[in-house]
Every structure is written in structure tokens, then in C-alpha cells.
Structure 1
Amino acid sequence: MTLSLRQIRYFVATAELGQISQAAIDLSISQSAITTAIKELERTVGVSLFLRTPHGMDLTPAGRQFLSHAYEILKKVDEATHLNVIGSEIEGMLTVAATYTVIGYFLPLHIERLRRLFPKLEIQLFELNRESIEEGLLSNRYDISVLLTSNILNPALVTEKVLSSTRRLWLPAQHPLLQAETVGLKEIAEEPYIMLTVDEAAHSALKYWSATPYQPRVILRTSSVEAVRSLVANGQGVAILSDMVHRPWSLEGRRIETVNIGDPVPAMDVGLAWRRNMELTPPMLAFRSYFQQAFHLPER
């Protein structure tokens, strides 16, 4: 029996979400299809990849090792099938400004691909906060930026969204809210809350909290995503953060679960920004076209 991409995708979704039911919802398929695929995969590799528990699916040591290989396989398949790129003869200098979250959790893979696709293009990358990026774009210090476009309000800038990352509630394993039929901001307000502050996360959170009669019971404000991850995994509180920064394990190897939120919570939008009314240079056009193709966006 041979491996299939379907099995690998189902395995990754289950590993990341921790529950077959959640993976089925995310993939829009039946739970039985995922269960069958995982059993076939385990027979093929000859080891158990998951521990089945009353609370979901926990990776075995072999499962964690296989997950690393699965990510590599899917990455190579994506590179081989989704990028019909634009000529590789583009050359010159491109200055790209990006925010902390984007550099940490989104951009490195794409910068690696861009450098392989355009070996003659020199990309200079700068990490800055939103205000500094806006000022730098308007003063021509940077050509283009990759940032949270939902935070951009300056009419002198053009934004182009490439990804919307859903925000969900982060919980430690076996938290009572994992068993609730629905979880809204009312229920979340009763829990100790870890508030992330980097990239205006606290400001974004308060905008959707302020539309309700509830407020989070904040016990700590931190600029560190890893601190939020560890605190949640160790049962010190809960948090609402995007799927883009979620990882199923803390640095201590403890599980972080996610659940959908019943109340309206906007997604975190990631995209490009540049100065309005400027003529895009060939390096800028190549950079923009790469993201359009990578995320299957219509070319404009």
C-alpha cells in the first residue's frame, strides 16, 4: 500500500486541530473518511500516529516525527503545482517592510521561494511596526510591505489582501469549554484571559469586544506569542488568536486546542501595501504576482 496526498492532508488537519470532527468540518468531508484515511496511513507506515483519547487525537512520538515529514511533502507539492511563475530574469533591488507577526509566522517561506524563483532579485527585508511602515512607504524608503492590512487606514496607501486567518479561542487540553456546544464572548469573559499586544492585537481585540456587553478578564498583557502559547497550554488562561500563529504544541510539549467562537470575531487579514498612484517597478510587480499566484488571487 502506498501513501496518498489525501491521507497526508487528512493526517495534518487532524494533527493540527486535535479532533477528527474539527478536521472534517475544516476539510468539508465526513468524519468516517478521515478515520479511514488515518487507519490506512498507519497501516502503511507500520506505527500508530495518534493516541485516541476521550478529548481527541494526540500525536504519538512517531506521529510528531511523521508530521514534520508531512509538512515537507505538502510544501513540495504546493511548490510544484501552484506556481507558474513570471520570468525569472527579474533583477534589481526590492525593499520590503513587514511587521513582527508577518515576519515570524508568514513571510519566511515565501521569501525563500521568491529568492529561488528570482535569483537576480535582491530582497532587503525590514521588521517595523505599522506606523513606521506607513511612513516609510510614503517617503519611498520602502518599496512595498507585507503586513496586517486590516490595520491600515491611510488613504494614501493601496492595500491588497492575500490571506484571511480566522481567529479562534485557544484553550488548554481538557478545558471544560471544549465540551460546550457553543462558545461565545460571554463564556470567554468568565475565563482568565491572556492579551497579546504585538501588532496592535489588543486594539483589534477591543474593537470586537466593545460591540458586546462583555469584556475580557485580562490577567496578563504580553507582546510574546510564545508566552501566550505556553500560558494557555499550561492552564493559566485562554486567548483569542488567529490560525496563522497557532501551533498545536507549546515549547513544553503541551497541547493547545482551538474552538470556533459563536459571536462575530473578524479574521486577521494579511496582505501587501504600497504608495497610491506610484508606478510599480518590475521587482514590485514580480513580488505582487508571486502572491497572486501563490494564493490563487485574480490578477489586477
Structure 2
Amino acid sequence: MVRNLSLRKLRYFMAVAKSGRVTQAAIDLNVSQSSITTGVKEVEEQVGVILFRRTSRGMLLTREGSRFLQRVNYAFQALEDAFNGLQDIHPTLKGTLRLAMTYTVAGYFMPPLLAQFQRRYPWVRVELNEVSRPEIEQGLTSDEFDLAIMLTSNMEHHDCLEKMTLTQSKRRLWVNGQHELLKREEITLQDIAHYPYIMLTVDEADQTALKYWKPEGITPNILFRTSSVEAVRSMVANGTGVTILSDMVYRPWSLDGKHIEHIELSNPIPPMELGLTWPRARSLSPAAKAFRDLAQGFSS
């Protein structure tokens, strides 16, 4: 059955799952919308289950779709590992890389990139440090760290640090699967201001949120503050409140199996920007340069 599932069609499925919209998937992959629609339909026919719910708000993964996406991601990672295994290992590059990262990077971006670097440069010793954004900026300027991956949209010391954007992630409203807001065609910050709000605090998410609430002259009705993404996910899924977070940390299901929808707001919400940063006044070591080059290719 699966022999007819081409990698191209699976990429179409993954692109729709990521953006939630056929139009955006077509733009991301530079193909026609009809190609995306036909490809996704053929994948569903081949696997024999409905992978998406078609709604006025876009394409929403079903429970089976979420499970299938997870397995497809594993398959593509295995293919990448296979090709990487054929690439030259660089045994001549040695030394130490002092790498810092924030919480979000450590949990949602770093692991596959780090594994690929370690395979390619097995004799480079990597010292990993999970610290806050202010500690990263201080550590880079004081020569405690060589390089860092962080939410560069939060950076303050632009004058003494270089940065390279690796990816951007949209911020959207999260609600549970039966929320009344799902019936609306358009939603603004004003529309959600009176709903109980679950505020994530890690990686300065609370401070970032207020930067796009305040210009509207309103503030969220904060019920609970937490540093745990899973706590936010669970409370939203169970209908305790709503939140606005980036697609990078979005998952359609909570740990207890409750469904979460995410909705694009009408207000201009800035995306979360993730990237590399390093000291402007200091040359990168060969190991740091190798990591920077790999990260740039990894995110493209």
C-alpha cells in the first residue's frame, strides 16, 4: 500500500500540517494549490484514514493525522540520518565549543541539530549551557560562551552582538477543541481580552506578550502564570483558559488527550524569531564557525 506514497506527497502533507492552510503550503513549497490538495487527498486514500478536518479556518489535524505526522517526521529524520551518514566526517576538526541556549531552543529546536553536528565533528567537545537571555548576552560578551542559540527577537545588546536568523514561528491563539471562538470568522485581541488567559513566563514570553497587547490599549485577563509549556497546553485543552504562543511549541493534543486548536488573529502579532548570536568583537573559533555553518544549512 505505502509503495505509492511518494516523498513529494508526504512533504505536501507536512507543509499543510505545519501551516494549517493549503494556500500557505503552496507558497512555502512553490507549487500550485491544486497539487497540494490532490497530494494530501491521495495520502489520505493510501493510508485509509482522514488526516485533516476541513474547516473555514483551515486544515486541522485529526488525532490520526497527528499520529501520522509524528511517524512521517521520524521517517524523514531517518532519511536525513542516512544521507548524513554518507557525508564526510571531519575528524581533523578538534577543540571545544561552548554553546549556550535558552529553554525553548533546548526543548524544541536544538536536539536534531546538535546530533547532526556531533556526527559530523566527533572530536569537538560541546559544552552545553541552558541559561536565560540576559545570562547569554552577558556570557557572550565576557567570553564565557562562544556561540548561542536563542530567541533573537528578545535581544537587547545589538551593538556588541552579531545575530543570524535561523527560523521564524508565527504566534497564534490557542483554544480547546470546543471553544466558542471557533465559530467566529475573525478574532481580535479585544475579542479575547475577557477570557481567562494562561500566561507562559519562560523565555520572557510574558514580557513579549505585553508588547503586542499594550499598543491595543488592553491587557489579557491573566488567570495563571507558569514556566511550563505542558501546563499551558493542558489548561488550554481542558478549557481553563486561552493563550497566544508560537507554532514551534504548538501541539494539537495535550498529554491527557484533549484537543487544542490554534487560530490566527487579525491583529499584527510579531513572530517568534530564533537564531544564532555571537560576540561582534571576537572571531569565531573553527568549531563555532562549523556549528554556525551547519545551523544555517539545517534551517534552510
TM, length-normalised to structure 2: 0.87
Report the counterpart of residue 283 of structure 1 in structure 2. 287
Report the counterpart of residue 222 of structure 1 in structure 2. 226
Which moved further from structure 2: 120-129 or 177-186? 177-186
Q: Does 1:38 align with 2:36?
A: no
Secondary structure of residue in 2 paired with 1:28: helix
2:130 to 124, 127, 131: 127
Q: Does 1:144 align with 2:142?
A: no
Distance 1:174 1:36, change over 3 A: farther
Report the alpha carbon displacement of residue 246 of structure 1 after superposing the two structures with TM: 0.8
Distance 1:189 1:83, change over 3 A: farther
Q: Deviations over 1:215-255 (max 9, x none)?
A: 11111111111111111111111111011111111101111
Equivalent-residue separation in structure 2 for 1:25 and 1:53 (angstroms): 13
Distance 1:39 1:208, change over 3 A: closer
Which moved further from structure 2: 274-283 or 81-90? 81-90
1:27 to 10, 14, 25: 25
1:106 to 109, 113, 132: 109
Report the alpha carbon displacement of residue 37 of structure 1 after superposing the two structures with TM: 2.6
Report the alpha carbon displacement of residue 65 of structure 1 after superposing the two structures with TM: 4.3
Amino acid at match of 1:142: F
Equivalent-residue separation in structure 2 for 1:70 and 1:206 (angstroms): 37
Report the alpha carbon displacement of residue 16 of structure 1 after superposing the two structures with TM: 5.3
Amino acid at match of 1:228: V
* Gap regions ≥5 residues in structure 2: none
Report the alpha carbon displacement of residue 191 of structure 1 after superposing the two structures with TM: 1.7
Amino acid at match of 2:231: A
Q: Does 1:177 align with 2:175?
A: no
TM, length-normalised to structure 1: 0.87
Amino acid at match of 1:7: K
Distance 1:275 1:84, change over 3 A: farther
**Does structure 1 conserve the Cα–Cα contact (< 8 Å) formed by 2:193 and 2:218?**
yes
Q: Deviations over 1:67-89 (max 9, x none)?
A: 23211233345567899989723
**Does structure 2 conserve the Cα–Cα contact (< 8 Å) formed by 1:193 and 1:218?**
yes
Amino acid at match of 2:226: T
Report the counterpart of residue 156 of structure 2 in structure 1. 153
1:272 to 271, 276, 290: 276
Q: Does 1:211 align with 2:215?
A: yes
Amino acid at match of 2:105: V
* Gap regions ≥5 residues in structure 1: none
Amino acid at match of 2:239: G
Report the alpha carbon displacement of residue 35 of structure 1 after superposing the two structures with TM: 4.6
Amino acid at match of 1:44: Q
**What is the aligned residue count?**
290
